[in-house]
Chain A
Amino acid sequence: MSGDSKLPGERSFLDGLEKRHRRGRLWKIFFATSIIIALLALAALFLNVINETFGSIAIQYEIDPLELTGGRPLDEVTDEELVAIIHQQLGRRFLVILRDELSVVDPSEFTTRPVEDVFEGQAYPEGTGELLINELSDDDVQFILLNNVSRPKLEALLLSQVAKEDIVQSWPLDWALFRFEMSEETRQQIDDIQAQIAQLSSQIDDLDRHVEDYDQQKDLLEAQLDDLERALIELKNSSVQARHYVDFPDAELIRYHSWLDSVFLITPMSSFPEYAGIRTAILGTVYIIVLVLFISLPIGVGAAIYLEEYANDNWFNRVMETNIRNLAGVPSIIYGILGLAILVRVFAPITSGALFGFNVPQQTEARITYNIGRAIGYDVLPDVGYRALILGFEREQLSTLEVDNVLTALSENELARFTANMDAGQYAAFAAAFLNIALPEPDENILAVPVENQRLADADFRRLVEAFFSFRQPSLIDFGLPSQDRFEQAVNESVTVTQLTPEQYNALVNELRQYSRLTLNGRTILAAALTLALLILPIIIINTQEAIRAVPASYREASYGLGATQWQTIWRTILPTAIPGILTGTILAISRAIGETAPLIVVGASTFIAVDPDGLFAKFTALPIQIWQWSTRPQAEFRNIAAAAIIVLLVLMLLLNATAIILRNRFSKRH
């Protein structure tokens, strides 16, 4: 540029000018590169999430649906026939479906309340309103399902409950798009290779009989076999169809499957990815966010008004303001630790709701007992009877599900471990006691088996429980579990506890009850919301301060000049003018809170919640928790639904940010 300059100038100036322009161009390239890198990263993130959310799946049925329908496609089967098939296949477990899908009463009252209560507001055969569910004829129960459940739901029930569909493999979208088809050549090669594998395997078997003679030959063949197998693996990993062809030839292959659909949004947790949804996570997030808003908005705005309008410019207020600014940068996990130490533990009577009569002590006692069992590897749960007695329940209460809360504390893995070693009778008793938990593979008519007197617990376990009760230091159960060595010490010191008389034993249990009142579990929605509110409080304060500072000084002068008091000036002029800034700042802070995971994990979000949260003192999970939890599972399908949940979370955040923009535009237009 400067070389062509016709303007007279000194040589040194022109050289310098060229250098200055060059430096500017370099910086411009650097800035452009930055934005390109940022955009690429964003695009990669989105592509990755979308890739996981949509894609191919292979579905295999335990029982072929065609077999169930007598060879007819599902479309041609009438609703009535569908219900009849489900009923016939499920037997008494059919009632469990009715209870889970349609009952409006507490699960424990399902069999003890008349039909008109149980199915209130829904269709049931005329004249059966007074009857109990167990007194209905087969046709009647079929009628109820038929008339209250939609066709797609019926088909889903057939496929999930009867045919037991299982997604044996899933592929991401790029596979569905680009690596779906298997060429005839590949198929030929696979067939060839499989045939050769079979042939070689049989030859190897033959040769095994003459090992000494054919060692060398066998090695050779084995090497060939390895090569072939390697080739097969390579081939079967070349496309969706090839993998399907090799590993799951009987599975139904769906090329484009969306993991994100309306059912996913309204279904609660499940340990099976194909049935899992994020209903409880969404509800948890909504509860928490609404609470956070109610807590942090008034406090944050109030604090900001104080700092901007009332506080003098002295050292104390300066230190306070600096600290608030620093707090906004504190890592969120530290707020989690704070929430755990103070909100969950110190304020447990408040955050658990015990002060207000929520979360009765039994739950905590049950949890302690359960924790003891877990700590020593003892399967507590099969011994329902004993455990119930420990908890002070009457035997009759067992079937009325008073203790079902205990099980929500179990992960599905633990559940599977407990049930794996049960015999049929134990399983049935267990299931009967905790019916509202979905159990993996009940193959008996579980409702039919009465709760019998279970064997009493091993003396060992009893001794350990009592040892625990006798060892009363709050630190022990702060985390719900005693540390290993302190617990062992306690056990050694109390071997004689087994010699206790019944009276002494009862006194011990009573002690525990008193004790557990003090150690109720504060890991509730309220504690989580308070923690997140603390987290975003500094952000809201800073944003509000900025918004207040942005109010033109002339408005303030005008208001004072008209004889307004300080409060009138704040309320009538400063706040109305600052409100768009306050709102956008708050919404952005809230959208940060929605995405926070670490503090919720520390505060104690549950990872498996199948029941909707019912208030401030409910246990909770939240969207980011669910995403985190699913993404750590080994099965690929969980990563698919994690990606689907990420999309939901992103949409939620985009909505919030859009709201912030709309609010800002609307308010600034009004002025």
Chain B
Amino acid sequence: MAAVQKPLNPKSVVTGLAVELRNVSVFYSDYRAVANVSLPIRRNKITAFIGPSGCGKSTVLRSINRMNDLVSGARVEGEIIYNGHNLYAPHVDPVEVRRRIGMVFQKPNPFPKSIFDNVAYAPRLLGIRDRNTLMQIVERSLRQAALWDEVKSDLNKSGLALSGGQQQRLCIARAIAVEPDVILMDEPASALDPIATQRIEELMRELQEHYTIVIVTHNMQQAQRVSDYTAFFNIRKAVQNGVETRWGELVEYGETAQVFNAPRQEETADYIAGRFG
């Protein structure tokens, strides 16, 4: 912990980049799931990862806050630079990384606890016990997540009693309670109806002011609507000794308007036009 105190202060470095991936490959045991991804994540921008199923976009997302560490046998090669320091350097504690780089999952997954306890979960992990402080944090987070007005009268209600869209916004409130730098969102709206999806998208635009957001999505309209930058991943295949292996690679990265309107790669154009995937 002590070793990372200094380098992880975001205010001290002004590069315009929140995170930078350099030649990142992700392995599960001997299997290489993603190969040689290099791309910048710009500060206070929304970056979207798109691509067909199995292209490794979620794997790359999860490696940014070291969630892949939880999968036994998972291994990352290359560097993920956060404020000038490699997140995979030996002295870096993944717990510290995840506190700086929060995550929202595909399926809303609030804890079976009250709304208050859900949002206060991360602050309590840091040792904050004072009820008033916690209350302030909960209110601010719920307001930022645009959920406050709907739940303020009943913070003791179980988080599981909310609707799907509300649950997902609760999960966002929970993720921003400790004010991370970056929020990773793994298809945050794929389990929601169109109205709830729209609210989440609006919310992302509002959060952009304070946070850097990376979103994985299957929905290309969504990527087009909300993101500033888009990274397109695709599947590569090779036959080695008669066995077919597949892995994901980054095909194209650029401003969203450019990727969708004037893709540099033919693959990207095919994918966006719906010709595969």
Contact = CB atoms under 8 A, between A and B. Distances in A.
Nearest to A562: B122
A671 B72 CA distance: 30
In which size bucket is the chain B interface? 20 to 34
Contacts of A576: 112-113
B4 to A, nearest CB: 13
Contacts of B125: 562-565, 568, 572
Contact of B99 (A554, A558, A563, A572): A563
Contacts of A470: none
Interface stretch (B14-22, B29-37, B102-110, B256-264): B102-110
Given A558-B171, A559-B121, A564 B95 contact: yes
Nearest to A573: B111
Nearest to A564: B125
B109 A552 contact: yes
Interface in B90-125: 95-96, 98-99, 102-103, 105, 107, 109-113, 121-122, 124-125
A256 interface: no
A552 B124 CA distance: 22
Given A559-B121, A561-B175, A562-B122, A671 B160 contact: yes
Given A313-B72, A572-B121, A671-B160, A562 B102 contact: yes
A560 interface: yes
B158 A561 contact: no
Interface in A534-575: 552, 554-565, 568, 572-573
B95 A565 contact: yes
A670 B113 CA distance: 8
B178 interface: yes
A296 interface: no
B65 A561 contact: yes
Nearest to B70: A560
Max count, chain A CB within 10 A of own CB: residue among B96, B113, B160, B174: B113
B214 to A, nearest CB: 13
A557 B105 contact: yes
B112 A670 contact: yes
A9 to B, nearest CB: 39
B203 interface: no
Contacts of B107: 554
A568 B70 CA distance: 15
B103 to A, nearest CB: 4
B220 interface: no
B67 interface: yes
B67 A557 contact: yes
Given A561-B67, A564-B125, A670 B175 contact: no
Nearest to B93: A565
A565 B110 CA distance: 18
Interface string B121-132: 110111000000
A563 B95 contact: yes
Max count, chain B CB within 10 A of own CB: residue among A552, A556, A562, A573: A562
Contact of B109 (A557, A564, A565, A572): A557
Contacts of A671: 112, 158, 160
A558 to B, nearest CB: 5
Given A555-B111, A557-B105, A563 B178 contact: yes
A552 B110 CA distance: 11
Contacts of B121: 559, 562, 564, 572
Interface string B45-89: 000000000000000000001010010100000000000000000
Interface in A65-119: none
A41 to B, nearest CB: 40
A577 interface: yes
Interface string A637-671: 00000000000000000000000000000000011
Contacts of A563: 95-96, 98-99, 102, 122, 125-126, 178
Contacts of B110: 558
B98 A561 contact: yes
A568 B113 CA distance: 15
A88 to B, nearest CB: 72
Contacts of B111: 555, 558-559, 573, 577
Contacts of A562: 98-99, 102, 121-122, 125, 174-175, 178
A560 B174 CA distance: 12
A561 B95 contact: no
A565 B109 CA distance: 18
B226 to A, nearest CB: 21
B109 A555 contact: yes
Contacts of A552: 109
B85 to A, nearest CB: 17
Nearest to B97: A563
Nearest to A671: B112
Contacts of B112: 555, 576-577, 670-671
Contacts of B122: 562-564
Contact of A561 (B72, B102, B113, B124): B102
Interface in B147-164: 158, 160
A670 B158 contact: yes
A215 B110 CA distance: 102
A558 B158 contact: no
A573 to B, nearest CB: 6
A318 to B, nearest CB: 14
A391 B112 CA distance: 66
Contacts of A568: 125
Interface in A559-616: 559-565, 568, 572-573, 576-577
Contacts of A560: 67, 70, 98
A554 B98 CA distance: 16
A557 B102 contact: no
A257 B27 CA distance: 78
A286 to B, nearest CB: 34
A556 B122 CA distance: 13
Contacts of A670: 112, 158
Interface string B163-202: 0000000010011001000000000000000000000000
A572 B113 CA distance: 10
Interface string A151-177: 000000000000000000000000000
27 contacts: A554-B107, A554-B109, A555-B112, A557-B103, A557-B109, A558-B109, A558-B110, A558-B174, A560-B70, A561-B65, A561-B175, A562-B98, A562-B121, A562-B122, A562-B125, A563-B95, A563-B96, A563-B122, A563-B126, A564-B95, A564-B121, A572-B121, A576-B112, A576-B113, A577-B112, A671-B158, A671-B160
Interface of A: 313, 552, 554-565, 568, 572-573, 576-577, 670-671
Which 9 residue pairs across A and B have the least CB separation, nearest first?
A: A563-B99, A554-B109, A671-B112, A561-B103, A562-B122, A563-B98, A558-B109, A564-B125, A565-B95
Given A563-B99, A563-B125, A576-B113, 14 more contacts: A554-B105, A555-B111, A557-B67, A557-B105, A561-B67, A561-B175, A562-B102, A562-B174, A563-B95, A563-B126, A568-B125, A572-B121, A577-B112, A671-B160
